Amino acid sequence: MGKLYDELLKDYRAKEGLKTCINCGTCTAICPAAEFYKYDPRKVMDIVQSKDEAEIEKLLKSDFIWYCGECMSCVTRCPRRNGPGLVIMALRNLSARLGYFVCSEKGRQLYPLTRILTGNILNYGYCVYPDTFKWEDHVESGPVWKWHTEHIEDTMARVGANFKGDGPGVLRKIPRESLDELKSIFDVTGGTERIETVERYSKEKAEELGMDMEEYFRETFEHTSSGHLNSED
């Protein structure tokens, strides 16, 4: 592998997002994440533009790059048409590829995210699916979601959905052949390799922390340390 900066610039999102940043800080001013977390997209752009390998490596191993919500509000407001959000996506992609994500608490969350989301895609054909969106993990979804999922065949039928049914319609069963095509796409495009990479590095980290993978899942999904927020010292 070449230098981290060169690797980063192979990513089309970095090519698109990093043009001529003047470090004006407009992105930070508009950023919802910067308001909440100790986060500063201007600084991310500054570090990447510096081409400083040690600083870029530090960034890839930090919580910092995982604070962004990818809303892309920064793209609209940048006076030079840069995309800090796109650069963040490229940094996260490189951090995942190299296994650096396990070095930070927010980075380690890639494990539950990968398990939930790619599991939903490959098993059901959806990113979000009622069978895995449990009220117990989402109490904010309210008593109405609890009621809905407890009676889901009836509530879905009441509003005209085709829940787990054949043919088109709302929350239909995605045909087996379509799921097989998704699996083939994952296999040939690096999606499967990415899942395996995230699992391998996460397993090593779990062993280092003395956890089995279920404990590691719950820990990375649920636990947050103090110190991430602007409101904290």
Partner 1 sequence: MIYQGKQKIWADYQKEIPDNHWFYVRSCIRQNFFPGAEKMFLEICRNLLGRDFFETEYHTTCGGIAYHCDTIPQETVMTIVARQFALMTEAGYENYVASCITSFGNYTEIIETWREFPELETKIRELLWKACRREFKIPKYLAHASDLIYKYRNEIAARAKYRLINRHTGEPLKAVEHIGCHYAKMFPSRGVGGAEYPYVLAGMIEAWGGNVIDYPERRHCCGYGFRQYHVKANRGYSLSNTHKKFESMEPYHPDFILTNCPGCPYFMDRWQYVIAETEGKTYGENGYGIPVLTYEELASLVLGYDPWDIGLQLHQVAVEPLLDKIGIEYDPKAKYLGLDEKDLMKPELPGVLRCC
Tell me, what DSSP letter sits at residue 175? P
Q: Least Å distance between CB 52 and partner 1? A: 23
179 or 211: CB nearest partner 1: 179
The neighbour count for residue 105, using CB atoms within 10 Å, is 16
Q: Which helix (H) or strand (E) holds 9?
A: helix 4-9
Q: Least Å distance between CB 201 and partner 1? A: 14
Which of 137, 196, 204, 215: binder of partner 1 (CB under 8 A)? 137
Rounded to 5 degrees, what are φ and ψ at 229? -95, 150
217 contributes a contact to partner 1 by CB under 8 A = no
15 or 203: CB nearest partner 1: 15
Listed residue (99, 82, 107, 91) closest to 56, CA to CA:
91
The neighbour count for residue 227, using CB atoms within 10 Å, is 10
The neighbour count for residue 143, using CB atoms within 10 Å, is 9
Q: Where do the H-state alpha helices sit in 99-212?
A: 105-108, 110-124, 142-150, 152-158, 176-189, 191-209
135 contributes a contact to partner 1 by CB under 8 A = no
8 or 110: CB nearest partner 1: 110
52 or 211: CB nearest partner 1: 211
129 contributes a contact to partner 1 by CB under 8 A = yes
x/- track of binding to partner 1 for residues 82-121 (CB under 8 A) = -x-----x--xx--x---------x--xx-xxx-xxx-xx
184 contributes a contact to partner 1 by CB under 8 A = yes
Residues touching partner 1: how many (CB under 8 A)?
Answer: 92
Q: Which stretch binds partner 1 (CB under 8 A): 7-15, 20-28, 49-57, 200-208?
A: 7-15
Q: How far apart are CA 164 and CA 159, in angstroms?
A: 14
Q: Least Å distance between CB 31 and partner 1? A: 9
SS3 43: helix
Structure tokens given for 105: 């608490």
56 or 91: CB nearest partner 1: 91
What burial class does residue 158 get, using C-beta atoms within 10 Å of its C-beta: 0-12 exposed, 13-18 middle, 19+ buried?
A: exposed
The residues in 36-55 that bind partner 1, with binding defined as CB under 8 A, are 36-37
x/- track of binding to partner 1 for residues 53-82 (CB under 8 A) = -------------x-xxxxxx-xx------
